Chains A and B, each alone.
Chain A
Amino acid sequence: MNQDDQKTGAFEYLTTRKDELVGWARKFSIFPYPFVTACCAMEFMSVSSTIYDTDRFGAALPRFSPRQSDLLMVVGTITHKQAPILKKVYEQMCEPKWVMAFGVCATSGGFYQNYAALQGIDKIIPVDVYIPGCPPRPESVIDGIMQLQDRIAGSKHPIINETF
């Protein structure tokens, strides 16, 4: 990077385009980690498989290791007893990482309000996209994935910096 480029704004132009490039690459290669605890799993299977096929969005290759995954899909009720496990899984994921609350139980506790159920996973980990429904329709899940894709495409990707 020489001085002249910085004067003309070429660097800003370049990094903007690079952000777009990396965002484009990332949004079509979301490897989900399915943290599946309850009945929403059935809907998760449905949305992953042939008819709805999340592979069209690059989000159908489940990685059963948090270290290899980008998207933590929390599918189902989280209990207080399970919360430490979810937190640990989240902490083990490498950046960049996103979290999806799949269904009302993960979003807000749903119809459970008792000694056992956590009232929404956002009490313990940050959530990027919430999908309502009990269980959500596959269309809602796909909509959630697409919203997440938009968000990834439109955000800064800090691997692009002045040294690159």
Chain B
Amino acid sequence: MNPNLLERVRARLASEGREAEFAHGLLALSLPRPALLDTVRLLKDEFGFDLFLDVTAVDWPGRDPRFDVVFHFYSTRDHVRVRLKTAVPEKDPVVDSLVPLYGSAAFMERECHDMYGIVFRGNDDLRPILLYEGFQGHPLRKDYPKEREQPLVRYRE
């Protein structure tokens, strides 16, 4: 158990364009896209964040860059969490995949790709996982109409 772990992570990482703050007892880091993979490797190897909890995205319509991609990590030794956020534009919604570091990232990245259309460079299996083949668009983007249905079975008359 290491009570000052998050403080040390903050001191180590809050530089080179990364911003760090504490929110609800976890450390939230914003960082530029190219720094993502190196930062995650550092968290994993140096600070022992061995569990990849989730990746998701936030859609900010009207903002540029439009999306935030959000990662959460957990340390099973120290029982603390870290959140990473990186912004990607609508035109080029690409971030590096974390599959080389965490195998469990593969499915979560597929879900994020389903719902928000974020492309994970290095994840070579981005087939739909919750949606189905042939689904048009990305339903959790704010500009997806909420009534729009894409049925697979023809409706009865």
Q: List the interface of chain A (C-beta within 8 A of B).
A: 80-81, 83-84, 87, 113-116, 118-119, 122-126
Contacts and interface: CB of A to CB of B under 8 A. Distances in A.
A142 B153 CA distance: 31
Contacts of A81: 131-132, 152
B147 interface: yes
Q: Is the interface on chain B under 10, 10 to 19, 20 to 34, or 35 or more residues? A: 10 to 19
Given A114-B139, A115-B139, A116-B139, A80 B156 contact: no
A81 B146 CA distance: 17
Interface of B: 131-132, 139, 144, 146-156
Q: Is the interface of A mostly helix, strand, loop or mixed?
A: loop
A124 B148 contact: no
Given A114-B139, A116-B139, A83 B153 contact: yes
Given A80-B132, A81-B131, A81-B132, A115 B148 contact: yes
Given A83-B152, A119-B149, 16 more contacts: A80-B151, A81-B131, A81-B132, A81-B152, A83-B153, A84-B152, A113-B146, A115-B146, A115-B148, A115-B149, A116-B139, A122-B156, A123-B155, A124-B154, A124-B155, A125-B156
Contacts of B150: 80, 115
A126 B156 contact: yes
A125 B149 CA distance: 18
Contacts of A115: 139, 144, 146, 148-150
Contacts of B153: 83-84, 87, 124
A99 to B, nearest CB: 12
B151 A118 contact: yes
A83 B149 CA distance: 13
A123 B148 contact: no
A128 B149 CA distance: 25
A101 to B, nearest CB: 14
Nearest to B139: A115
A84 B154 CA distance: 9
B53 to A, nearest CB: 24
A125 B155 CA distance: 9
Which of A113, A115, A123, A126 has the most C-beta atoms of chain B within 10 angstroms of its own C-beta?
A115
